[in-house]
Amino acid sequence: MILEVAMLQVKPGLAGEFERNFQVASGIISKMKGYIHHELKRCMEDDHKYVLMVKWETLEDHTVGFRGSAEYQEWKSLLHHFYDPFPIVEHFEAI
């Protein structure tokens, strides 16, 4: 199992719309091969900052399977226009 982590900076004034779109996007990612679980958390000090954590069975389930899919194109159209700057996505493994 690996953990994908992304810090998301949502453009001012768009947090509500982002959260609504994320609910739709959640239905997309949750059906992907290798998907285990995800959580989106909003920062208490800055309500336009979020952290997204997604558990995948393998790194390739995310980087190849999901990112190479038609579903990812839908995910992008729902969410990517909200970010400034575009998030850095990192992957972590248990030690």
Give the global pTM.
0.95
- The pLDDT confidence band at residue 1, using thresholds 50, 70 and 90, is very high
pLDDT of residue 20: 98
**Range 62-87 average pLDDT:** 98
8 - beta bridge partners?
Answer: 50
70: Cβ–Cβ under 8 A, 6 or more apart, which residues?
A: none
- What pairing do the DSSP bridges indicate for beta strands 49-56 and 35-42? antiparallel
